Homo-oligomer: A and B are copies of this chain.
Amino acid sequence: MKPADPARLSLNTITTKKWTLAQAIEGCARHGIRGITVWRDRLQEMGVSAAVQSIKAHGLAVTGLCRGGMFPAPDAVGRKAAIDDNLRAIEEAQALGASCLILVVGGLPAGSKDIAGAREQVRDGIAAILPHAKAAKVPLAIEPLHPMQAADRACINTLGQALDVCDLLDPGKTGALGVAVDVYHVWWDPQLEAQIARAGKARLLAHHICDWLVPTKDLAFDRGMMGDGIIDLPRIRALVEGAGYAGYSEVEIFSEPDWWQRDPDQVLRIMKERYATCC
């Protein structure tokens, strides 16, 4: 297997939560990290034009915008508001030249126990925004989230399920709709190999890395640095690259007790080392 290519390492800015977007852009440049995935709250804070200018000045690739999605809502007003917000996200992703807009699709609407219904709302929401995304040339990346987040964050929970939505809404595999393969969400899936192969180059829009800690102490905010857990990262990278993915590997670590507490420059140094040795 080919070693991980340092030129394809990307920082998801949630990993360095202490930093503003301006600091994260400068940090990537300082550490020779060439890709960055941006969160929208930090983008608003900095301003889109300033962010575009700084990212360009520092020669970074924008490997994604986090995030669109969150489609299900208890009523039509809420669903319309979600779609409007996704349209704004598409505009922002276009302005940044992001390689995709990440969709965290949303969980059950408040008070609902109808996961099948939530999944229909997600499908309808993506269908509503897809023409706009195509026109803006912003690929939409459905990110299946770990089943432990099915109720509150995303009711699309396997790659197979995400690809079913892709095949329904974009049967021609135009490149406008695909998936984000985050190892944290999918490492356990007995169908992982088959579904990555099914996705192929046309649907593989992002590859997110981190690690699964044993024990894991929180359902959302206790991810590990690559090498500190039990995910076979080289195997999953080999699968996505074997299926044709030629983009970045993006480090996305939600870690309240550990990595969010550290000096972000240390985090970037360690993630570069680990990327070279464990991924």
A→B interface (CB under 8 Å) = 108, 112-115, 119, 146-148, 150-152, 155, 157-158, 160-161, 187-190, 212, 214-219, 230-232
Closest 7 CB pairs of A and B: A150-B188, A148-B148, A113-B232, A147-B188, A161-B190, A147-B147, A151-B214
Copy number in this complex?
2
Q: Which residues on the B side are within 8 Å of A147 (C-beta)?
A: 146-148, 188-189
Are B232 and A115 interface neighbours, CB within 8 A? Answer: yes
Main DSSP-derived SS at the A contact region: loop
Please measure, in the bound complex, the distance between the C-alpha atom of A151 and the C-alpha atom of B230, giving whole angstroms: 7
Cβ-defined partner of A214 (8 Å) among B114, B152, B217: B152
**Across the two chains, which residue of chain B brings its CB closest to A193?**
B116
Known: A147-B148, A151-B212, A152-B215. A230 touches B108 (CB 8 A): yes
Q: How far is the CB of A218 from chain B (nearest CB, A)?
A: 8
List 25 interface pairs A-B (beta carbons < 8 Å), by A numbering.
A113-B230, A113-B231, A113-B232, A114-B232, A115-B187, A115-B188, A119-B190, A146-B147, A146-B148, A147-B147, A147-B148, A147-B188, A147-B189, A148-B148, A148-B216, A150-B188, A151-B214, A151-B230, A152-B215, A155-B188, A157-B188, A157-B189, A157-B190, A160-B190, A215-B219
Q: Which residues on the B side are within 8 Å of A230 (C-beta)?
A: 108, 112-113, 151
Q: Which residues on the B side are within 8 Å of A160 (C-beta)?
A: 190
Given contacts A148-B148, A150-B187, 18 further A-B contacts (CB under 8 A): A108-B214, A108-B230, A113-B230, A113-B231, A115-B188, A147-B147, A147-B188, A150-B188, A151-B188, A151-B212, A151-B230, A155-B188, A157-B189, A157-B190, A160-B190, A161-B190, A217-B218, A219-B219
